[in-house]
């Protein structure tokens, strides 16, 4: 049996679409468990219209705790974690069952659709970033676990004691669990059959807040789990990481240009920008081939902003970690 586990926190805007999609599956042997993380809206009332098990937490403890609670109450031997803001395909359960017929498979990662519901450039960038750097067609396995849609054997999940419940925010708890899986000798198989639509429309403010927080928490997780680093080599992110010091130097040169009108500084500034563009060229070309030239140019601008957020997020994480804020 497959247990579909959906953590919910104030998800009334998307939960109905999420549950409609799950229950559109023709696969027979499955259960749905909705865990309300002390939601203040009518999410529970929506869930009550479906044949699912509802667990109401009386205190907001974060998605890590909610998912663990759902897993512990599940009857199924396969756990399919689905975020409340995604729409799954009507055959997803069949594909999950098929994947786990292979006894060597312990975990399967789903992917976002290449075409998000919202067409603004920031949302396009965010989704394209995941699609290219994490789930690009050349990859069969990934070292980055993303909680929006993934399946794992229950015995494997319980053996590793699930998500780290010290992480209260919806950031890095999934990536940290991925570290544990890989350290235990598991491979995270990418299944493009587990293709979901993400119902999030990123404004500039939401993008900055979300990505800055993500980079801070991911860096802290990386420090906490540094013993796993040798096993978790993210070659597919090497270009992104290489761009961080370059964006720092670009900012430095830009600052110097404000105070000093110097041809040498201008040349260095131009060279650094060319280096940055070359690092992201394949990604931009990927976007251009799927979404057109204008979207590719917009995405390039987003690369600058995102790299800057990554830079200050990493710096902030290290400083706060030194002063004892490990979570």
Q: How far apart are CA 148 and CA 82, in angstroms?
A: 5
Amino acid 138: pLDDT: 58
Beta carbons of 270 and 278 less than 8 angstroms apart: no
Would residue 27 count as lying in a domain?
yes
Is 93 in contact with 176 (CB distance < 8 Å)? no
CA distance 49 to 322: 48
Q: What pLDDT was estimated at residue 171? A: 84
pLDDT number for residue 314: 94
- Residue 319 belongs to some domain of the structure: no
pLDDT tens-place values along the chain, 327 residues long? 999 999 999 999 999 999 999 999 999 899 999 999 999 999 999 999 999 999 999 999 999 999 999 999 999 999 999 999 999 999 999 999 999 999 999 999 999 887 766 778 999 898 888 888 777 765 788 888 999 999 999 999 999 999 999 998 888 899 899 989 998 999 999 998 999 999 988 999 999 999 999 999 989 988 888 766 555 655 556 677 788 889 998 888 888 877 777 788 889 999 999 999 999 998 999 888 888 888 899 999 999 999 999 999 999 999 999 988 888
pLDDT for res 140:
85
Considering its fold, how many domains does the chain have in total? 1
pLDDT of residue 217: 92
Residue 39 falls inside a structural domain: yes
Residue 192 included in any domain: yes
Q: Which residue range(s) make up the domain with 190?
A: 2-116+138-201
Closest CA to 147 of 161, 125, 159, 130: 130
Residue 7, strand partner residues: 35
pLDDT at 228: 63
Q: List the one residue out of 151, 137, 136, 131 whose CA is nearest residue 198.
A: 131
**pLDDT the model gives residue 233:** 58
**Does 79 fall in a domain?**
yes
Contacts of 281 (CB under 8 A, 6+ apart): none
- C-alpha to C-alpha distance for 17 and 200, rounded to whole angstroms: 13
85-114 burial: b if 16+ Cβ within 10 Å, else e: bbbbbebbbebbbebbeeeebbbbbbbbeb
* CATH classification of the domain holding 171: 3.90.550.10
pLDDT value of residue 291:
81
Residue 248 forms part of a structural domain: no
303 assigned to some structural domain: no
Q: Is residue 45 in some structural domain?
A: yes
């Amino acid at each position: 049996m497959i247990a579909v586990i959906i953590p919910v926190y104030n998800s009334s805007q998307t939960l109905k679409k999420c549950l409609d999609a799950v229950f559109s599956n023709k696969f027979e042997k499955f259960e749905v468990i909705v865990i309300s993380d002390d939601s203040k809206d009518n999410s529970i009332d929506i869930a009550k219209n479906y044949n699912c098990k509802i667990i109401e937490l009386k205190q907001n403890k974060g998605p890590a705790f909610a998912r663990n609670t759902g897993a512990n109450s599940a009857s199924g031997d396969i756990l399919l974690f689905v975020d409340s803001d995604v729409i799954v395909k009507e055959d997803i359960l069949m594909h999950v069952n098929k994947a786990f017929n292979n006894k060597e498979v312990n975990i399967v990662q789903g992917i976002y659709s290449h075409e998000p519901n919202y067409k603004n450039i920031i949302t396009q960038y965010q989704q394209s970033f995941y699609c290219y750097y994490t789930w690009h067609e050349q990859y069969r396995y990934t070292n980055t676990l993303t909680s929006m849609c993934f399946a794992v054997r229950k015995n494997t999940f319980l053996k590793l004691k699930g998500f780290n419940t010290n992480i209260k925010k919806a950031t890095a708890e999934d990536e940290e669990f991925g570290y544990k899986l890989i350290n235990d000798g598991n491979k995270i198989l990418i299944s493009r059959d587990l293709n979901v639509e993400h119902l999030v429309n990123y404004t500039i403010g939401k993008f900055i807040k979300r990505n800055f927080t993500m980079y801070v928490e991911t860096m802290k997780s990386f420090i906490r789990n540094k013993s796993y680093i040798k096993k978790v080599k993210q070659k597919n992110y090497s270009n992104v990481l290489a761009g961080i010091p370059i964006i720092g130097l670009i900012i430095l040169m830009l600052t110097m240009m404000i105070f000093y009108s110097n041809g040498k500084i201008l040349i260095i500034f131009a060279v650094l920008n060319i280096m940055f563009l070359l690092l992201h060229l394949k990604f931009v070309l990927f976007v251009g081939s799927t979404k057109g030239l204008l979207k590719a140019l917009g995405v390039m601008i987003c690369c600058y902003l995102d790299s800057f957020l990554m830079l200050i997020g990493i710096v902030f994480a290290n400083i706060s970690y030194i002063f004892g804020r490990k979570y």
